[in-house]
Structure formats: C-alpha cells, structure tokens
C-alpha cells in the first residue's frame, strides 16, 4: 500500500520520480515557491481565503451526481455496475477543475509579491482559469498556447482575450502543449524576479506536482465525504482521465491510502496505441526527463521527445506528472487508454443518457467505465459502485464534436 | 590533472583569456560541424563546446532552438556529437553541451563509456543542476561535470557547490551571465564580470561567462572577470544566415578571429 506522503525519501520525489531538472536560474524561484508552499499555503489565513473563493466564486462544493441512466445504458441488467457517481467539476466556474489550482496559485503569487503571471495551456481550460483568476485578482496574464491548439480550441482563446489575458501562439515543434510549456519556461527564466509561472498540470519541477495536487485534492476530499453521505461507505473504484494528471491526482489523493478503492487513470490512445499517433505516456512511454521532472515520457531511443496525438488538446502531451509514474510502478493505480473514437462515442452516450456534454478529455475516462467496473466487480465478486471525475464540460469542443459526430449519424 | 584543468591553469598564469566556441552538432550537417570546429580552432578558439540537438531546448533562445530543431529533423543526436568530438579532440578540449533526456535515455554508464572513447573532456547539462548531478558525474568519470551558475544562484548554493567540486570533478564553472535564455540581448558585461569574479572566489573554480556575448566588445568586457568566455548563438546565427559552405566557414572564421583579437588586447 502506498501512504499519502509516499516514499518522500528526497525532497520533491515520488519514489524515483520528480525532482528538479531545470536550468540553474530557476532553482532560486523554485526554492522561493517551495518555501511559500510550506509557510503560506499551509497557513489557516491562506486556506480561509482560498476556500472562501472556492465557495463563493467557483461554486464549490461541486455536486456528486448519481448517473442512473448512464449506468443502465452501460449495464442494463446490473451484472457488474451497482451505482455510478459523477464528480461534477464541469459545474465549476469556467467549466473545469483547472480553476481550483489556478486560483490557489494566483493567490499565492500575490502574497509572494509577484506582479505578472505566465501560464501554458493545451485545451485552454487552464489558460481560461488562470486568466479568470488574474482578472479577478488584478494581475497581468500571458498565456502560451500551441498554434495548433489555438486553432482547435478557438472559443477558449476568445474567452482568455475577453478576460484581458494575452494569448501567445507558439509555432515551434508540434505546436501543442509541450511547446507551449517550453515557451512559458523561457519566459519565466527571463523574468524570474517579477513573474510567477502558473503550471496547470501536476507536472513540472518540484514543488509544482505537490502544489497542484494540494490544490486539486479538494476534488477528492469532497468526493470522499459525498460518497460516504450517499452510500455510507467508500466507492469500489474511481476513474479519471490523465494527461499531465491534475484532475486524476486530485480525486485520487484521499483514496490512495484506502486499499479497498481501486483507482484507474485513462490516457489518450489517439488513433490507437498500435499507431504512432497517441498520447499514452504511462502505457507506452519510457522513463525520462521532460519539463523539469523525471517521469514517464514519450520519446524515441535517442531521447528526442515525440509528438503526442489526441483529439483532446488537454491530453495531447508526451509527459505525465511524476506522482502518476510512481503510482503506476507501485501498482496502486491501473492506467488504461482510450482512443479518439472511444472518447467521441462516450460524449454522445453521456449527453443522451444524462444531459451532460463532456469535455473530450473527460470523455476518455467515461469510455472506460464499463471496462473498469467489470474488472472491479470480478475482483469483489459483486456489482460495484464507481465514481468518475467529470473534469470538464464540452462547450469548448463543440465544433470538433459536431464535425466528427455528424457523419456518424448519431445526431438527429 | 585533466588537460582542461591544465589549460585553465596555464592560461591563468599567462593571462590568456580562453575562448569557448559553441556549435550545434549537425547544423547544417555533421561533416560541416567537424569542418567548422576546425575553423573555430584555427581562428583562435581554445575549447569547443558541442551542442547535442534536443527536441525541446527550453533553455535556449530562438537561434539555437532553430538550429537544434533543424538538426533533430535530420536525425542528429548523441552519436553524431561523439563523431565530431573524435574528429577534433586531439586539437583541443571538447565539452559536450546538452539536455538531460538524451543522455539519460542513452544510459548514463553507456554514455560515460562512449564519451570517454570519443575523447570528450567535460559534460555540461543545462537542465541538470549540480545537486542532481552526482549519478551522471560518477558514470562519466574521469570526464568532468561542468556546473552552470546563474545570477539567481544563492550564496549558500555557491558554497554547497564549492564543497562538491572535487566529487563532481568540475574542471571549471559556467556562469550564465543573465537570467534568461541563450542569445539573450540584455547582457551587462561589466556586471557579469564582477559577479563571475565572486562566483570563482566562492567556488574556487575557474569560471567562463556565457549567454548573450555577441560582440568583440562584450567578449572583452566580460572576460575581465573570468578565465574566459563562451560564444554560442552569435556563431550559430552566422552559420544560419549564410547560404554556401564557403561563406559559412569564412563568416565563422572572421567572427571567431575578431573575438580572439579582442580577448588578446592587453588590459
């Protein structure tokens, strides 16, 4: 079993993963941030402020919705799925879990005396969340976004601009999230004195994976008490999608130390893991170093990072947070993958059954509910109760969804 | 004492300022990198710094990032850097400059073995700060590990490094003259020289200054506080801008010679 503070033998490590693999210039600001995490974030003063915003601005706690119709669709005779619950991060202000962390980091940056914020974004949800927090807390915000993502997530680009953030398209490399992160790092290293780099994933150099998990574990903490209220017990399984892994680590955190809860992370298999076009880092990657931490990465035998592929910009990343790498090796979390088409099917299925339009990222987790529930039911020898993290809503994906789903004939 | 250490010692005695020339291996081709390395040495460079192209050069500015992207697209990697090192190592010390992932994935032990065979003298890994470097340093012995230090590096860290320079076999330290990326334009060479002098005192290592030195004047100013200077982006830019091999060679030769002359003017 893995304890909550698992294997923290060295600062910033989860087992053998994590660390600080960055340019020397960034060590001092990372030290400064680590100190702030220990002294400020832990203080009741900060916690009260952050939690008040979560309640009065974000709309927390988010509901835990029982999905009876979806459960019935997946398992009409109730052979393996007893009850299915959705943790509704789509109902957060800005439409995804990203705001929990962005708000926390911007409040922290303000207390650290930083006067400028930079962020990277893939799907644009973290960019929107950061731009939102910056607008409300009156800090200038610049968001780096791969040029390809700027195209496919146009509504979020518009939202960021409305919120007063400057969106900078990155044309280098694969023109997606990893390249946006490179550019954000270059900006930060050049402007360390004034600028806080607000990382949206539970990835990057120490203390980011810890900090992001800390802010996102509000998802898991709420789920823990809500599921108890609803079922007087723990769920049998929890499922979340994994790109960098922030919603997953957030919902997993309080359940990691509960051995009776089986945990599943679902990565993006793109066109299929048998093709070169996927983003299944934990499933097919090797141990390496990318963007400041040691973790699984998608790279070739020469160590060159490979371009990931996913229909969902938020999962289109060739790295993953170091804690997930550790949880994989420790056998505590099972990581699966789902293809672009699986995700599309899950979106239309959930929309019809529950009246909820999923973000494409989230849909990857939903497409594996049946597989995961069957596995757990086999283990427990009874129909099981599952929780899925509904990390975000699909408004931003509307044009991709309509374009891809119309030809399949599922739309009326 | 390694030959790099000897070179630094002799240069200090003779007041010779060392000129470190950076090339991105494989830009525009591996053969031409070998040729340009010889050109740099002929024009007065003392040490060659061979950049291993990487897909995600997040510490590099646009010039070296573009060169790296071009080389990666051609499939250039560590084995080619070894090839260039082998071709020039009998003429001057060779420092490998790269990112950690290609070395880590290659395998540190295997990397150490092949780097020794290729005649490499020292290794500098831009995203491997010295407190994470001991596994690599052990694997590459007797090759040295070159620590990077920055304007943001604290006094405390300098002292920590000072206590570990022997274990890491640091032949010298590389002082990053500005908080920023390679090819930065904001360098204040006088300030950098003053800070480099302090860094050298506190770590007891000879120091070279790099990042943002793009002219003879800046080279000369910066060198006043250091054992030498590193020029990278300004050389890579001259290679990028020229269409023919002969022009590239002539441009690089002229520029490195100009730097050499500036460094040789008595203070």
Chain A 184-203, residues with CB within 8 Å of chain B CB atoms: 185-186, 189-193
Q: Which residues contact B196 (CB under 8 A, 6 or more apart)?
A: B175, B177, B207, B209, B222, B225, B226
DSSP string, B152-180: T--HHHHHHHHHHTTTTT-S-EEEE-SSS
Could you tell me the CA-to-CA distances from B16 to A308, B12, B260 in Å, in that order?
A: 49, 6, 10
| Predicted local confidence at residue B184, as pLDDT | 85
Chain A 274-303, residues with CB within 8 Å of chain B CB atoms: 286-292, 294, 297, 299, 301-303
Active-site residue A391, yes or no? yes
Interface confidence: ipTM more than 0.90: yes
Residue A4 reports pLDDT greater than 90: no
Q: What would the pLDDT profile of B197-244 be if each residue is shown by its tens digit?
A: 999 999 999 999 999 999 999 999 999 999 999 999 999 999 999 889
| Predicted local confidence at residue B267, as pLDDT | 65
A35-64: average pLDDT: 97
Q: Which residues contact B111 (CB under 8 A, 6 or more apart)?
A: B78, B103, B139, B140
DSSP string, A210-236: HHHHHHHHHHHHHHHHHHHHHHSS--S
The Cα B54–Cα B51 span in angstroms is: 9
* Per-residue pLDDT band at A152 (split at 50, 70, 90): confident
Decide if B10 touches A, using CB distance below 8 A.
Answer: no
Nearest of B147, B97, B142, B145 to residue B117 by alpha carbon: B142
Domain ranges for chain A: 23-55+98-209, 59-95+216-408
On average, the pLDDT of chain B sits at 96
Domain A59-95+216-408 has CATH 3.40.50.300: no
Residue B56 reports pLDDT greater than 80: yes
Task: Say if residue B230 is preceded by a cis peptide, omega within 30 of 0.
Answer: no
Could you tell me the CA-to-CA distances from A67 to A74, A113, A380 in Å, in that order?
A: 11, 45, 21
Q: At residue B50, what are phi and psi to the nearest 5 degrees?
A: -100, 115
* Per-residue pLDDT band at A7 (split at 50, 70, 90): very low
pLDDT above 70 coverage of chain A, percent: 98
| Predicted local confidence at residue B249, as pLDDT | 97
Decide if A29 touches B, using CB distance below 8 A.
Answer: yes
Q: What would the pLDDT profile of B156-176 be if each residue is shown by its tens digit?
A: 999 999 999 999 999 999 999
CA A10-A300-B107 angle, to 5 degrees, is 50
Q: Which residues of B touch A289 (CB under 8 A)?
A: 99-101, 104, 127
Output the six-digit token pair for B209. 């200054």
A59-95+216-408: same fold as A23-55+98-209?
yes
| Predicted local confidence at residue A8, as pLDDT | 45
Domain A23-55+98-209 has CATH 3.40.50.1100: yes
Going by the DSSP 8-state scheme, the letter that residue B28 receives in this structure is: S
Residue A79 reports pLDDT greater than 90: yes
Residue A2 reports pLDDT greater than 70: no
* Per-residue pLDDT band at A165 (split at 50, 70, 90): very high
Residue A1 reports pLDDT greater than 60: no
The Cα B69–Cα A377 span in angstroms is: 49
B68-85: average pLDDT: 97
Residue A289 reports pLDDT greater than 60: yes
Residue A3 reports pLDDT greater than 90: no
Q: What would the pLDDT profile of A314-348 be if each residue is shown by its tens digit?
A: 999 999 999 999 999 999 999 999 999 999 999 99
A112-133: average pLDDT: 96
Tally the C-alpha atoms within 13 A of residue A36's C-alpha that lie toward its C-beta: 23
| Predicted local confidence at residue A255, as pLDDT | 98
| Predicted local confidence at residue B197, as pLDDT | 96
Contact A189 B59 (CB under 8 A): yes
Contact B69 A172 (CB under 8 A): yes
Residue B154 reports pLDDT greater than 50: yes
A44-66: average pLDDT: 98
pLDDT above 90 coverage of chain A, percent: 93
pLDDT above 70 coverage of chain B, percent: 100
> What sign has the CA pseudo-torsion A85, A87, A90, A91?
positive
* Per-residue pLDDT band at A290 (split at 50, 70, 90): very high
Active-site residue A375, yes or no? no
Q: What would the pLDDT profile of A371-387 be if each residue is shown by its tens digit?
A: 999 999 999 999 999 99
Domains present along chain B, CATH in parentheses: 17-262 (3.20.20.70)
Going by the DSSP 8-state scheme, the letter that residue B217 receives in this structure is: H
Contact B69 A182 (CB under 8 A): no
């Amino acid at each position: 079993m893995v304890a909550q503070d698992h294997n923290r033998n060295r600062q910033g490590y989860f087992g053998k993963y994590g660390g600080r693999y960055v340019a020397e210039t960034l060590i001092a600001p990372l030290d400064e941030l680590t100190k702030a995490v220990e002294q400020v974030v832990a203080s009741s003063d900060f916690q009260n402020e952050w939690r008040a915003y979560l309640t009065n601005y974000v709309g927390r706690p988010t509901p835990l919705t029982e999905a009876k119709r979806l459960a019935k669709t997946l398992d009409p005779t109730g052979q393996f799925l007893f009850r299915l619950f959705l943790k509704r991060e789509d109902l957060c202000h800005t439409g995804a879990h990203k705001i929990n962390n962005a708000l926390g980091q911007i409040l922290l940056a303000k207390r650290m005396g930083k006067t400028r914020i930079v962020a990277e974004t893939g799907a644009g949800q973290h960019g929107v969340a950061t731009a939102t927090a910056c607008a409300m807390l009156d800090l200038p915000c610049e968001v780096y976004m791969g040029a390809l993502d700027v195209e496919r997530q146009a509504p979020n680009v518009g939202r960021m601009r409305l919120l007063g953030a400057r969106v900078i398209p990155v044309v280098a490399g694969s023109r997606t999230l990893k390249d946006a992160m490179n550019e954000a790092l270059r900006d930060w290293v050049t402007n360390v004195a004034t600028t806080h780099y607000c990382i949206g994933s539970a990835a990057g150099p120490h203390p980011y994976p810890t900090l992001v998990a800390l802010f996102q574990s509000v998802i898991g903490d709420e789920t823990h008490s809500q599921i108890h209220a609803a079922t007087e017990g723990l769920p049998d399984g929890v499922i979340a999608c994994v790109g960098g892994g922030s919603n997953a680590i957030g919902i997993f955190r309080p359940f990691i130390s509960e051995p009776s809860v089986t945990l599943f992370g679902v990565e993006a298999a793109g066109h299929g893991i048998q093709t070169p076009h996927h983003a299944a880092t934990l499933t097919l990657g090797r141990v390496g170093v990318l963007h400041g931490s040691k973790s699984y990465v998608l790279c070739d035998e020469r160590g060159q990072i490979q371009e990931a592929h996913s229909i969902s910009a938020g999962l289109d990343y060739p790295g993953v947070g170091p804690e997930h790498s550790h949880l994989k090796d420790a056998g505590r979390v099972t990581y699966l993958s789902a293809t672009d088409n699986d995700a599309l099917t899950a979106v239309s299925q959930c929309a019809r059954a529950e009246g909820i339009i999923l973000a494409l990222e989230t849909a990857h987790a939903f497409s594996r509910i049946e597989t995961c529930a069957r596995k757990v039911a086999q283990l427990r020898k009874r129909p099981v109760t599952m929780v899925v993290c509904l990390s975000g809503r699909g408004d931003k994906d509307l044009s991709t969804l309509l374009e891809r789903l119309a030809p399949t004939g599922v739309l009326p | 004492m390694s030959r790099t250490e000897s070179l630094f010692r002799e240069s200090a005695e003779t007041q010779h300022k060392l000129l470190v020339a950076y090339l991105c291996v494989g830009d525009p081709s591996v053969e031409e990198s070998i040729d340009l390395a010889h050109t740099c040495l002929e024009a007065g460079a003392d040490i060659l710094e061979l950049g291993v192209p990487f897909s995600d050069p997040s510490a590099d500015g646009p010039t070296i990032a573009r060169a790296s992207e071009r080389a990666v697209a051609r499939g250039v990697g560590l084995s080619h850097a070894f090839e260039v090192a082998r071709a020039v190592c009998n003429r001057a010390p060779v420092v490998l400059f790269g990112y950690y992932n290609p070395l880590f994935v290659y395998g540190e032990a295997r990397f150490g073995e092949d780097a020794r065979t290729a005649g490499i003298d020292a290794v500098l890994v831009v995203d491997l700060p010295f407190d994470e470097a001991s596994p690599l340093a052990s694997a590459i012995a007797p090759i040295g590990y070159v620590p990077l230090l920055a304007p943001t590096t604290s006094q405390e860290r300098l002292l920590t490094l000072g206590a570990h320079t022997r274990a890491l076999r640091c032949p010298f330290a590389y002082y990053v003259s500005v908080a920023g990326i390679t090819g930065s334009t904001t360098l204040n060479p006088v300030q950098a020289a003053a800070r480099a002098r302090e860094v050298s005192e506190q770590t007891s290592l000879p120091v070279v200054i790099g990042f943002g030195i793009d002219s003879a004047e800046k080279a000369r100013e910066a060198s006043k506080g250091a054992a030498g200077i590193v020029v990278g982006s300004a050389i890579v830019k001259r290679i990028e801008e020229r269409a023919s091999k002969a022009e590239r060679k002539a441009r690089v030769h002229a520029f490195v010679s100009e730097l050499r002359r500036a460094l040789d003017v008595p203070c």
